[in-house]
Amino acid sequence: MSEAKSVLRTENLGITFGGLKAVQNLNIDIREGELMGLIGPNGAGKTTVFNLLTGVYQPTSGKIFLNDKEIHAKKPHDMVRQGVARTFQNIRLFKELTVLDNVKAAFNGSMKYTTLEGVLRLPRYWKEEAEIDRKSRELLALFGMEGLADNIAANLPYGQQRKLEIARALATNPKILLLDEPAAGMNPTETAELMEAIALIRNKYKLSILLIEHDMSLVMGICERLVVIDYGQVIATGLPAEIAQNKRVIGAYLGE
């Protein structure tokens, strides 16, 4: 992996809330096509890292580079447009819309027809609508959810809602996908299926993925590299096998 190009990199990234250094001196580098795990105990700062990388929070120190160019993540939608997509620890969907409409709505940013063409239902509108419909169903099929297209999102079981959220993130055509505890609340079978689906998506789309997980054993099997944070700082980076034997990592987890 070492010769692969950097997709998303941070240099001494940090943020302070009042007196609390929630993240400090964070140096991570996710390469092209890499599936990297970001792990650490409760409150370690994992979600805060995502919020920094997606423009939800402005860093108090350090830099962020996308494709080796420094970026200033001002607003989440800017980051989505630049190819950084995420899911949330607490599911965010249009709960009252259908499964299909949830995915179609995420394609919104990529539509080319003008508002007038849309209102007047001109040919380009129909052509793009049909294309978005097709692509949306294709994304649902990735998760075995094509049969659920007409269901209302709120009525889906928890695990399916999580997968729908990932499908929505993929609809924005990202270069890198940030997943915040996508298996939270799933049973072991659903979790195993999801991890398989994540690995498959990475291979199919040659995506880079940064995967937050609380349970270390879950990501060990599918990630090429792991970054472990504790109290807002990186305490270890390396191959899963190295991390599993790292004394500081073991200490951080046992110390919980």
Ligand X SMILES: Nc1ncnc2c1ncn2[C@@H]1O[C@H](COP(=O)(O)OP(=O)(O)OP(=O)(O)O)[C@@H](O)[C@H]1O
For position 2 contacting ligand X by CB under 6 A, the verdict is: no
Nearest distance in Å: CB 215, ligand X: 10
* N-terminal to C-terminal alpha carbon distance within the chain: 33
Task: For residue 27, give the nearest of 65, 55, 57, 1 by alpha carbon.
Answer: 65
Nearest distance in Å: CB 12, ligand X: 18
User: Site for ligand X (CB under 6 A): which residue of 33, 131, 214, 244?
Assistant: 214
Q: Which stretch binds ligand X (CB under 6 A): 35-43, 93-101, 109-117, 141-149?
A: 35-43
User: Site for Mg ion (CB under 5 A): which residue of 24, 47, 160, 161?
Assistant: 47
- Measured from the CB atom, is 45 or 182 closer to ligand X? 45
Contacted entry of ligand X, Mg ion, none for residue 214, CB cut-off 5 to 8 Å set by kind: ligand X
Alpha-carbon gap, residue 177 to 137, rounded angstroms: 20
For position 160 contacting ligand X by CB under 6 A, the verdict is: no
Show the CA angle centred on residue 217, arms to residues 216 and 219, nearest 5°. Answer: 75
Nearest distance in Å: CB 135, ligand X: 32
Long-range contacts from 79-83, C-beta under 8 angstroms, 24+ separation: 79/53, 79/54, 79/55, 80/109, 80/172, 80/174, 81/109, 83/173, 83/174, 83/175, 83/176
- Residues numbered 37-66 forming contacts with ligand X, rule: CB under 6 A: 40, 42-48
Q: How many residues bind ligand X (CB under 6 A)?
A: 13
Q: Find all residues with CB under 8 Å of 211, minimum gap 6, and list them.
A: 35, 36, 37, 38, 179, 182, 198, 219, 222, 223
Nearest distance in Å: CB 43, Mg ion: 8
- Measured from the CB atom, is 89 or 151 closer to Mg ion? 89
Residue spans of alpha helices (H) in 146-206 = 158-171, 188-205
Nearest distance in Å: CB 44, ligand X: 4
61: β partners: 14
Q: Kindly state the tokens that stand for 109.
A: 């940013």
User: Site for ligand X (CB under 6 A): which residue of 89, 151, 173, 233?
Assistant: 89
The site for ligand X (CB under 6 A) is made up of: 17, 20, 22, 40, 42-48, 89, 214
